[in-house]
Amino acid sequence: MASEAKLLTVQFLQWLAARPRSHAEVRNAWSSTCPLNCAFEDAVSDDLVERGADGRLVLTERGWARLAEAAGPAIAGSGDRRLA
The tens digit of pLDDT for each residue in 47-65 reads 999 999 999 999 999 999 9
**CA dihedral (60, 65, 68, 69) positive or negative:** negative
Catalogue all structural domains in the chain, each as residue range(s) with its CATH number: 2-76 (1.10.10.10)
Comparing C-alpha atoms, which of 29, 11, 10, 15 is closest to residue 58?
Answer: 15
What pLDDT shows up at residue 68? 93
Q: What is the mean pLDDT of residues 57-81?
A: 77
pLDDT band at 36 (very low <50, low <70, confident <90, very high): low
- The pTM assigned to this predicted structure is 0.75
- For residue 46, what is the enclosing H or E element? none
What pLDDT shows up at residue 83? 44
**pLDDT(26) > 70:** yes
Pairing of β 57-59 and β 49-51: antiparallel
What pLDDT shows up at residue 1? 43
What pLDDT shows up at residue 39? 86
Q: Is 79 helix (H, G, I), strand (E, B) or coil?
A: coil
Please tell me the number of Cα atoms within 13 Å of 27 on its side-chain side: 4
